[in-house]
Amino acid sequence: MSNFSPKSYQEVGRAFINIATATFILGTIQPIFSGKFSLIVAFGSLFLFGTFLYVGIKLIDRGERDG
């Protein structure tokens, strides 16, 4: 069992969404400056963006339900 309060879930969820936003921005800017592997990096960063966004939304939702 975890010691997280509902507010902690929301804060961690917001942090994940901030990470997702930063990943998305880096993933859209980075391919402009690199050559070969830009598509791989772009798709990888979009995958990370989706993952972090999903986890963040789920954590915020759990915090709202528990609180």
Domain range for 52: 10-66
Q: Residue 28: its pLDDT value, please?
A: 74
* Position 1 in a domain: no
pLDDT of residue 1 exceeding 60: no
| Global confidence as pTM | 0.65
More confident residue, 59 or 42: 59
Q: Residue 26: its pLDDT value, please?
A: 78
Helix (H) or strand (E) holding 56: helix 38-66
Overall number of domains in the chain: 1
* Position 3 in a domain: no
Q: Residue 36: its pLDDT value, please?
A: 62
What's the pLDDT tens digit per position in 24-58? 887 777 666 666 666 777 777 788 888 888 888 88
* Position 2 in a domain: no
Sign of CA dihedral 57, 21, 10, 55: positive
